[in-house]
A and B are shown apart, each in its own frame.
Chain A
Amino acid sequence: MSEITDTEQLETTAENPVIGIDQLAGDFKYDMTYDFDAGTGLSERTVDYISAVKKEAPWIREFRQNALKTFLSKPLPTHWASKDLETIDFSKIRYYLSQGLKPKRTWDEVPADIKRTFERLGIPEQERKYLAGVEAQFDSEAAYSNIKEAVSKQGVIFVNSTEGLRAHPEIFRRFFGKVIPTGDNKFSALNSAVFSGGSFIYVPPGVKVSHPLQAYFRINAENFGQFERTLIICDEGSELTYMEGCTAPKFSTATLHSAVVELVALKGAKIQYITVQNWSSNVFNLVTKRGLAHEEAQIKWIDCNIGSRLTMKYPGVVLKGRKARGEVISIALANDGQHQDTGAKMIHAADETTSTVVSKSISVGQGRATYRGIVHIPRQLKGCKNNTECDALLINTNSRTDTYPAITVRGDRHAVQHEASVSRVSAEQIFYMQQRGLTEGQAMSLSVNGFVNELARQFPMEYSVELKRLIDLEMEGSVG
Chain B
Amino acid sequence: MAVAAPARPAAADLLGVFTPEVFAAHLASQAALPSWWLERKRSAYSRFESLPMPRRTDESWRFSNIAGINLGGFSPAADAPAPGNRRAPEALAIAPAATLSFLNGRLSASTPLPADLAARGVVASAISGAIARHPGLLREHFMAQPQKLGSAKFAALHEAFIQDGAFILIPRGVEIDGPIVVVHEVSGAGAAVFPHTLVIAEDNARATVVDHFVSADLSRQFACGANDLYAGHGAKIAYAAAQCWSPEALSLQFNSTVVRRNARVQSLNLHLGGRQARHESLSQLQAPGGFSEMLAITIASGSMECDQRTLQIHQAPSTKSDLLYKNALLDRSRTIFSGLIIVDPDAQKTDAYQSNRNLMLSDEAESNSLPGLEIQANDVRCTHGATSSRIDPEQEFYLKSRGIPQKAADELLIFGFFEEVLNRLESEELHAALRKLIRAHLRR
Contact = CB atoms under 8 A, between A and B. Distances in A.
B379 A418 contact: no
Contacts of A171: none
Interface stretch (A224-232, A267-275, A408-416): A408-416
Interface stretch (B83-91, B162-170, B281-289, B365-373): B365-373
Given A397-B377, A402-B373, A422-B382, A416 B389 contact: yes
20 contacts: A394-B380, A395-B378, A397-B345, A398-B376, A398-B377, A401-B373, A402-B373, A404-B372, A405-B371, A405-B386, A407-B369, A408-B366, A410-B363, A411-B363, A412-B360, A413-B363, A416-B389, A422-B381, A424-B379, A424-B380
Nearest to A410: B366
Q: A-B pairs with the 4 shortest C-beta distances?
A: A394-B378, A412-B360, A409-B388, A403-B373
Interface string A415-453: 111111111100000000000000000000000000000
A99 interface: no
Given A379-B366, A400-B375, A403-B372, 20 more contacts: A380-B363, A395-B378, A398-B376, A401-B373, A402-B373, A406-B62, A407-B369, A408-B367, A409-B358, A410-B366, A411-B362, A413-B390, A415-B387, A418-B371, A420-B371, A421-B384, A422-B380, A422-B382, A424-B378, A424-B380
Contact of B364 (A80, A379, A401, A419): A379
A79 interface: yes
Interface string A253-294: 000000000000000000000000000000000000000000
A392 interface: yes
Given A396-B378, A420-B383, A79 B366 contact: no
B59 interface: yes
A401 B374 CA distance: 6
Contacts of B369: 405-408, 418
A142 B381 CA distance: 48
Query: Which of A392, A397, A404, A412 lies at the interface centre, i.e. has the most chain B CB atoms within 10 A of its CB?
Result: A412
A399 B363 contact: no
Contacts of B58: 79
Nearest to A370: B374
Contact of A412 (B361, B372, B382, B383): B361
B363 to A, nearest CB: 4
Interface string A200-223: 000000000000000000000000
A408 B64 CA distance: 12
B385 interface: yes
A412 B365 contact: yes
Nearest to B373: A403
A407 B368 CA distance: 5
A411 B361 CA distance: 8
Given A411-B360, A413-B390, A414-B388, A406 B376 contact: no
A40 to B, nearest CB: 31
